[in-house]
């Protein structure tokens, strides 16, 4: 029997062959499907038809998934009589109607939440104007982030006002902050405030559900968005998508799928006109793993920090979440805020809810302080695993430590201005921090400044020593940094007077980083001298830091107490404290 070019088979045979892994590729049409088998299945080519034809069961929405699962290459059949719109309609619309209907039912059964509808091929959920159910009033304690986003809303509403003068509206805004601080909430609120369509998709959704076609999803998403401009495209958990290509998978290669999706995203961002009225907002709690290409100008060039709230912020957030809760009279939200350092917005929302549940279980008419106390304990035990919540002694230690940095830092040459001291824990790593910003861009560091930095780094530990007489483990990171800096001072910058301008450390070549020995071959004697010199620098710096703090012990006490009260010191108040230190120290610190 001679093989024909085509053979018509039943739909069920087609499905069986897919499941048996025999199908190589398929072309899907509205009225027929043409497919070919893998070559190893056709032992005798002459006896086998080249192509198989089957009549699809209209609306089998599982077929694309099945094809994907068995890695069958598939595409749409060029228009026959129904045309490709028909094809598209028959394959895309039935599942859409189903999902839409389902979404509608879900929304109804939940008493009318934001009705989410899957649009087109992209999984982005579109919310019609003002339908995200969140407004700026629902977000509290992150006023700076809110103010910056307000500006974005203004861009969307009054695009002409800006473009008239030739301004370029930002394309991408990146919300950065620890989990549960309200990034997703802010993005939803901005859509409501601006009254524009809001497309939302999460980075992990891309990866989990659409392996193999992530890039086309991105394209679809932007197609949709451009058609609906002005609008907002929100990508949550951008880090899942935008992980740095450099560390994606060793030296060569990496995660192909993610990389393609990421490249498509970058291409789309470059492709759309700045003033097209599409603003891309993304959120991440791991900015450090993002591909640097994402942060370049013209992409996510605006970054907005959404940090854990301070005491006043926490009170405001509690107020938002307690709005519809019956509180008994003696419940004071400011006191509650004082007792919950380190809680993010989501933790506070959780706290209010837990307390309310407890009260309800006890058949009370209102939520009492007792309920809140019990709820705090519950939330805390959950939190302790995730992030640090400090006890009183720890808090005190951190406060003195940070003020130590600030006071010493205020006296060092070229060290910049101490902008902010905080003892609101940030993640597992940092319990508190002192933010010191340079007054201008610096490209060179003078010897004195390096010594100044080392002294400032040791200021934290020195404060702990002079107040408590012992040090905590909290200073280890500072000591690490100070020692590194001192070593570079000697071995890389050649600044040591004893050892002279010899570089003992090789500049590392990026490609082989970690594979070479960073130190030049040196004699044991020189090696010992280097170690001694580093030790001397550190010890000298430590002495200076201790001296400064001893002289300013009263101010150290006073500032630390104030910091304990407020948790964050910044602005004029902080400046006042530091000015008092600077006035007292008439002599300039020299080395
Ligand atoms: P993120 O995206 O930063 O991880 P979410 O926006 O998902 O955090 O926050 C989760 C929930 O926690 C919100 O829906 C809200 O109820 C509450 N929440 C978080 N931050 C705030 C805030 N700043 N103000 C009010 N509620 C907040
Ligand atoms: Mg989120
Ligand atoms: Zn420190």
Whether residue 332 is contained in a domain is answered as yes
Span from the CA of 404 to the centroid of ligand 3 (angstroms) = 8
Q: Which of 385, 170, 179, 209 is nearest to 287 (CA)?
A: 179
Whether residue 428 is contained in a domain is answered as yes
Mutating to test ligand 1, I would choose from 187, 317, 345 the residue with most ligand atoms within 8 A of its C-beta, which is: 345
In this prediction, residue 443 carries a pLDDT of: 58
State the Cα angle at 417 between 413 and 418, rounded to 5°: 115
Same domain, 238 and 100: no
Same domain, 369 and 249: no
Torsion angles phi and psi, residue 430, rounded to 5: -100, 125
Nearest ligand 1 atom to the CA of 188 is 6
Mode of pairing for the β-strands spanning 231-236 and 278-284: parallel
Question: What CA–CA distance (Å, rounded) separates 294 from 171?
Answer: 12
Q: Which of 581, 496, 582 is nearest to 538 (CA)?
A: 496
pTM of this structure: 0.54
Q: pLDDT by residue (tens digit) across 472-482?
A: 887 788 898 89
Question: What CA–CA distance (Å, rounded) separates 64 from 367?
Answer: 52
Span from the CA of 358 to the centroid of ligand 1 (angstroms) = 22
Q: Which of 305, 338, 354 is the last residue of a domain?
A: 305
Nearest ligand 1 atom to the CA of 175 is 3
Same domain, 329 and 427: no
Residue by residue, DSSP assigns 234-250 as: EEESGGGT-B-STTSSS
Span from the CA of 432 to the centroid of ligand 3 (angstroms) = 8
Helices 476-491 and 524-551 cross at an angle (nearest 10°) of 130
Nearest ligand atom owner, CA of 475: 3
CA-nearest residue, atom 14 of ligand 1? 185
Q: pLDDT by residue (tens digit) across 268-316?
A: 777 766 667 788 899 988 887 788 888 887 788 788 889 888 889 999 9
Whether residue 1 is contained in a domain is answered as no
Same domain, 410 and 522: yes
Q: Which residues pair with 198 in a beta bridge?
A: 127, 232
Nearest ligand 1 atom to the CA of 138 is 25
Q: Which of 185, 146, 144, 140 is nearest to 318 (CA)?
A: 140
Whether residue 386 is contained in a domain is answered as no
CA-nearest residue, atom 6 of ligand 1? 182
Q: Output the domain CATH number for residue 355.
A: 1.10.8.60
SS3 282: strand
Nearest ligand atom owner, CA of 175: 1
Contacts of 272 by beta carbon, 8 Å cutoff, 6+ apart = 171, 222, 226, 278
Same domain, 140 and 101: no
b/e 531-568 (16+ beta carbons within 10 angstroms → b): eebbeebbeebbebbbebbeebeebbeebbebbbebbb
Q: pLDDT by residue (tens digit) across 346-358?
A: 999 999 999 999 9
Which portions of the chain are predicted below pLDDT 70? 1-4, 40-49, 58-59, 78-131, 205-214, 244-257, 272-275, 381-390, 414-415, 425-431, 436-444, 505-520, 586-591
Helices 214-228 and 256-271 cross at an angle (nearest 10°) of 20
Same domain, 299 and 316: no
Nearest ligand 1 atom to the CA of 178 is 3
Whether residue 141 is contained in a domain is answered as yes
Whether residue 352 is contained in a domain is answered as yes
Same domain, 140 and 26: no
Catalytic residues: 402
Using an 8 Å Cβ cutoff, are 459 and 408 in contact?
yes
Distances (CA, A) of 345 to 147, 180, 468: 18, 6, 33
Same domain, 340 and 371: yes
In this prediction, residue 240 carries a pLDDT of: 78
Same domain, 160 and 220: yes
Q: Which of 22, 46, 78 is the last residue of a domain?
A: 78
Q: Output the domain CATH number for residue 273.
A: 3.40.50.300
Question: What CA–CA distance (Å, rounded) separates 344 from 91?
Answer: 44
Same domain, 292 and 334: no
Span from the CA of 317 to the centroid of ligand 1 (angstroms) = 9
Whether residue 589 is contained in a domain is answered as no
Same domain, 417 and 546: yes
List the domain range (segments joined by +) for residue 27.
6-78
Q: Can you say how many angstroms the Cα of residue 324 is from the centroid of all Cα atoms in its chain?
A: 31
Q: Which of 421, 399, 403, 430 is nearest to 569 (CA)?
A: 421
CA-nearest residue, atom 5 of ligand 1? 182
Same domain, 140 and 90: no
Using an 8 Å Cβ cutoff, are 187 and 222 in contact?
no
In this prediction, residue 289 carries a pLDDT of: 79
Nearest ligand 1 atom to the CA of 186 is 6
Span from the CA of 347 to the centroid of ligand 1 (angstroms) = 8
Q: Which of 252, 271, 305 is the last residue of a domain?
A: 305
Span from the CA of 483 to the centroid of ligand 1 (angstroms) = 40
Mutating to test ligand 1, I would choose from 189, 346, 356 the residue with most ligand atoms within 8 A of its C-beta, which is: 346
Nearest ligand atom owner, CA of 480: 3
Residues with CB under 6 A from ligand 1: 138-142, 177, 179-185, 283, 317, 320, 345-346, 349
End-to-end CA distance of the chain: 99
Nearest ligand atom owner, CA of 477: 3
Mutating to test ligand 1, I would choose from 182, 187, 379, 383 the residue with most ligand atoms within 8 A of its C-beta, which is: 182
Q: What is the domain count for the chain?
A: 5
Q: Output the domain CATH number for residue 571.
A: 1.20.58.760
Question: What CA–CA distance (Å, rounded) separates 255 from 247?
Answer: 10
Whether residue 186 is contained in a domain is answered as yes
Residue by residue, DSSP assigns 438-471 as: -SS--S---HHHHHHHHHHHHHHHHHHHHHHSS-
Q: Which residues pair with 175 in a beta bridge?
A: 283, 304
In this prediction, residue 47 carries a pLDDT of: 58
Q: Output the domain CATH number for residue 41.
A: 3.30.720.210
Contacts of 58 by beta carbon, 8 Å cutoff, 6+ apart = 30, 90, 94
Percent pLDDT > 70 in the chain is: 73
In this prediction, residue 368 carries a pLDDT of: 93
In this prediction, residue 194 carries a pLDDT of: 82
């Amino acid at each position: 029997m001679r093989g024909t070019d085509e053979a018509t088979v039943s739909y069920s045979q087609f499905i069986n062959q897919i499941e048996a892994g025999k199908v190589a590729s398929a072309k899907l049409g509205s009225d027929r499907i043409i497919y070919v088998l893998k070559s190893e299945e056709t032992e005798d080519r002459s006896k086998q038809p080249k192509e198989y034809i089957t009549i699809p069961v209209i609306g089998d929405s599982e077929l694309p998934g099945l094809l994907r699962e068995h890695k069958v290459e598939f595409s749409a059949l060029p228009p026959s009589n129904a045309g490709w719109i028909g094809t598209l309609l028959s394959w895309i619309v039935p599942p859409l109607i189903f999902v839409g209907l389902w979404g509608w039912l879900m929304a109804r059964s939940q008493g009318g939440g934001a009705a989410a509808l899957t649009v087109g091929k992209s999984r982005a959920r579109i919310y019609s104007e003002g339908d995200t159910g969140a407004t700026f009033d629902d977000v509290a304690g992150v006023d700076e982030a809110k103010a910056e986003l307000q500006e974005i809303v203004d861009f969307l509403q009054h695009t002409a006002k800006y473009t008239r003068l030739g301004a370029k509206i930002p394309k991408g805004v990146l919300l950065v902050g620890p989990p549960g601080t309200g990034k997703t909430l802010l993005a939803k609120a901005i859509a409501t405030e601006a009254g524009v369509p809001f497309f939302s998709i999460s980075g992990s959704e891309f990866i989990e559900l659409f392996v193999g076609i992530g890039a086309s999803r991105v394209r679809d998403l932007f197609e949709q968005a451009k058609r609906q401009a002005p609008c907002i495209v929100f990508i949550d958990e951008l880090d899942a998508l935008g992980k740095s290509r450099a560390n994606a998978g060793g030296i060569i290669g990496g995660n192909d799928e993610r990389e393609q999706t990421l490249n498509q995203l970058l291409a789309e961002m470059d492709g759309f006109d700045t003033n097209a009225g599409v603003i891309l907002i993304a959120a991440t709690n791991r900015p450090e793993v993002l591909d640097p290409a994402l942060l370049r100008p013209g992409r996510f060039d605006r970054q907005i920090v959404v940090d854990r709230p301070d005491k006043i912020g926490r009170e405001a957030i509690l107020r938002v979440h307690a709005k519809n809760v019956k509180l008994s009279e003696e419940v004071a939200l400011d006191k509650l805020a004082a007792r919950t350092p380190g809680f993010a917005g989501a933790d506070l929302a959780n706290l209010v809810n837990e307390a309310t549940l407890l009260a309800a279980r006890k058949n009370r008419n209102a939520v009492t302080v007792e309920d809140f106390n019990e709820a705090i304990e519950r939330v805390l035990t959950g939190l302790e695993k995730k992030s640090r919540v400090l006890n009183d002694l720890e808090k005190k230690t951190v406060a003195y430590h940070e003020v130590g940095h600030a006071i010493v830092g205020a006296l060092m040459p070229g060290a910049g201005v101490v902008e902010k001291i905080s003892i609101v824990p940030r993640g597992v790593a940092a319990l508190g921090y002192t933010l010191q910003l340079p007054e201008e861009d610096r490209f060179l560091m003078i010897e004195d400044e390096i010594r100044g930095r080392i002294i400032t780094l040791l200021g934290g530990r020195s404060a702990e020593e002079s107040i408590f007489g012992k040090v905590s483990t909290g200073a280890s990171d500072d000591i690490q940094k100070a020692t590194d800096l001192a070593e570079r001072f000697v071995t890389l910058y050649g600044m040591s007077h004893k050892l002279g301008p010899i570089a003992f450390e090789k500049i590392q070549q990026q490609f082989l980083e970690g594979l070479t020995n960073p130190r030049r071959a040196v004699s044991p004697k020189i090696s010992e001298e280097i170690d001694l010199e580093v030790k001397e620098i550190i010890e000298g710096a430590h002495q200076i830091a201790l001296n400064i703090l001893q002289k300013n012990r009263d101010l150290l006490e006073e500032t630390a107490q104030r910091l304990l009260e407020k948790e964050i010191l910044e602005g004029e108040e902080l400046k006042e404290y530091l000015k008092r230190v600077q006035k007292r120290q008439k002599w300039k610190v020299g080395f």
